[in-house]
């Protein structure tokens, strides 16, 4: 298992968190997604390391953006 934390910008409420979680959870191999709206932290647990491009695309599909690393 691999756990990676990303920072997502623009989330302000539970609906935001739900949208991001739903899109990221749809990535193949993802087993868990935990979102902290206050900090913008999204912690993703997956069977193998994920492509940052896949995560970025999922977050953008939800209407948000990954913060620059």
Span 6-49, pLDDT tens digits: 999 999 999 999 999 999 999 999 999 999 999 999 999 999 99
Q: For the whole model, what pTM was predicted?
A: 0.92
Please, which pLDDT band fits residue 68 given cuts at 50, 70 and 90? Answer: confident
For the chain, which residues make up each domain, given as ranges?
2-66
Torsion angle of the four alpha carbons 30, 3, 32, 48, in this order, in degrees rounded to the nearest 10: 20
CA 7 to chain centre: 8
From the candidate CATH numbers 3.30.70.100, 3.90.1150.10, 3.90.180.10, 1.20.58.100, the one assigned to the domain spanning 2-66: 3.30.70.100
* Angstrom distance (rounded) from CA 68 to CA 18: 22
């Amino acid at each position: 298992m691999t756990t990676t934390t990303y920072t997502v910008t623009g989330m302000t409420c539970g609906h935001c968190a739900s949208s991001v979680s739903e899109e990221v959870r749809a990535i193949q191999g993802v087993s868990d997604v935990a979102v902290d709206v206050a900090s913008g932290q999204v912690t993703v647990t997956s069977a193998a390391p994920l492509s940052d491009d896949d995560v970025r695309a999922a977050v953008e599909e939800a209407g948000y953006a990954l913060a620059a690393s």
